[in-house]
Structure 1
């Protein structure tokens, strides 16, 4: 309703704007959602990949360290073939045993292992000679191992090497407790350089503002990113667990940081939509103004014509649809002027023709009164046959001169044709036979008025000779339709004429209008929901089949309305 109260220019302006904005907003939303989905997906995949990679490296490092520790422990547990001391070697045999252990330690020292040491109870150690035992014993991992008496593993920064190149190491300390082995109450230390691992974690911490936490299998904190931010429930979290000892590796990213790229995309898309909206606003105004300029001129010209001013002429400067409309308007105005002149000339002639037509009309009441007078005159003169014929003719004419095309009951239609048959019997005598098959309940069914008589007239005038023959009428009900079959045994109709039996006759040819009227009546009441089929064999007769929808008398009022 709001749009209907606006001018055409404003409506066109709004329509142009809406047509421009809907695809822009749709494409903008789709672009934002798809871009954000791709960026967030890649970011999520990157975090998951990084966590998976760190977990895999930790698993590999731990596997190597535990394997080396087990091999070295197995070697030291054999007291029959190994003779090592807690002090610095003094004899050739001691140097030889120490040398064998050193070779074993070197054999298990892979590229990423910083050092492998056996620390004895006298603070003497076997391994590389750049190790400061006293400085190492200040580390928390040593203190935990010393007081617990169990193996300990941890991440820390080494400060006890003479040539220190590692910033972070993963250290494993295993107490050596043998029943028969050598170096009892000593400690096996294996340290692996994990600077590469920390470089990867540093990328996550700096670039993505991630907070990384590593806990051992009993929940003790091994590593945690230094950050002033606190953990929140809405943080994006990736969780991994190592396969070797079930360490928990957690990557936590604040929601604001994770969706920062999405917000940037949203801002860019919003700016683009805003710019497109301004452009659409300007273009909509220009197009609507240009488009309605010609319409406004046409509107003013129409207003003048509506006031009876026909002297103005619309100037046309374009060849588009508006220009063509202006040309047609000018032609229409000229035509109206011509028609008005013709109307003035013909108006007096029309009045005169109407007055003359009144004198030539036939008054049905005069006709019926005259026929009734003749009928009573025949009875008074004793001519009963003429009286009967006039009586039946009057009844037939009552139906023919009733010009409405309402639906009537089959009972009324059958009663009207009884008078037609009576006239034919008076005319031809008892030379024809009529049979009717119909269930009594079908008498309430509706049929267009004056449907049967034109078809029966066609039988008597064209099919029978001297009115001799048989006519079979059958009314049935089939599903939702009535079905009428009219069959005669007369001359039959050639196929070329049969095809045009219910079509509009040629105006130059007399007759044939009755059957066409039958078709028209069914079409008026039922549209295309009816069927008329004809079949004929020359010399044997003709069959007409009519099917139409079922309607009953009690469904309609006296005027035939539903």
Structure 2
């Protein structure tokens, strides 16, 4: 039983583990898909905001480069006599107004290349300052958005400043006369544009690999170049339980890369997390199965084994092998087992008593058999003496009596045919003629087909005898007895009737009415004879068949037997 329990526990553990792993993998797959969708949408929004921010800067710097005051400063400076009044104030107000639109502009400058003079608006100042500023040579020919090297010199650290440069060309000739430049706070610019919602990390770097911005991201990755399955450097992949998305940002003056990271919640990070989870789940189930097996063995299997040993002892005849365990699980079963032992012991004692009484009854019956056998042998002797002395009447009477004794002693078996039973009645009446002569006549009528029906031996003789002794003889007149046997095929009944013209049934005295029954009459037959006939019918056929007595005082009596139809060989 314990092995079966362990086997079932192991199978259930494997099934549950497999189901748990399957559910986990499906849940992990759903989480991965949701994470990918959320990450792509978020990263797309961030890329659009970054591009929009840079486009606004580009539009602003182009407007500045096309402004009349800026062009005049780039072409002639503020030293020429042709300078219009108020140009310095107008240019200064323009620079301050444009710089105030963007909180991440740390400095905005307009530079004249010929004199090397610059008019700049520094963050936190109330006006613009005139000075010199070095502009990259490339900026003299085209617009440029480039990163200024960081002060620490470590490539793992993001750059602190971005420079956006726009050349100012002379009308008509297209010669570069000056530049408009924006110094941008890199961290503030990218943080305001990208945001940090739903991301576990983010990094922005340019095409030369310079790190421009990082938010809780891993170390700076190498620039991903376009390849199979990628779209010009934009692609997605999973790395150590994190979903990484890289997008190519094509800006007006540069090419940047944005790389964002997102980690799914909990343990649902993919197939790698399924292995430890399945291991923990399996170990938990095995521990639960082991604990269940221990409890099962202690509180169920051990008491059952103890009870089984007690039953083995009882099987060998030890009726004192009582259950005395304290297990609440088997308390009712143990109590029933103890009651069974008590009942068996009582039944065995009763069987022994009945066997002893039966043995005594058999011995007594053997002793009582002496008298009928002695009488039977004596009558045979008388019969032969009567034949020797040529007295046939005595010989016939003795012969009839011998046949009756043979039937009463069971020489013919427990059942005889109707034909044989009628023959015994005629033998009985042959004996009665020595006493009554022709005063009592017997008439027997048997329906065709009923002669071969069986009934218990000597069942009708006591009824005929009681009809003579208790019916006709007390009437002190000639009498008759009719015996009729018929078949009721519809109900499968054998009906035997014994009718006489004797004194009938005598009413009981009032003081004896209760003792004799509700009918208020006393059966004129011997109580022993009636009881024996009814007991025979009950023992042989059951409670569905009866002996009925019908009659009135002075009009005779009819005794009717209803028996089942049994025939020879049936």
The normalised TM-score by structure 2 is 0.44
Tell me which structure has the larger Cα radius of gyration.
2
Whose strand fraction is larger, Structure 1's or Structure 2's? Answer: 2
Whose helix fraction is larger, Structure 1's or Structure 2's? Answer: 1
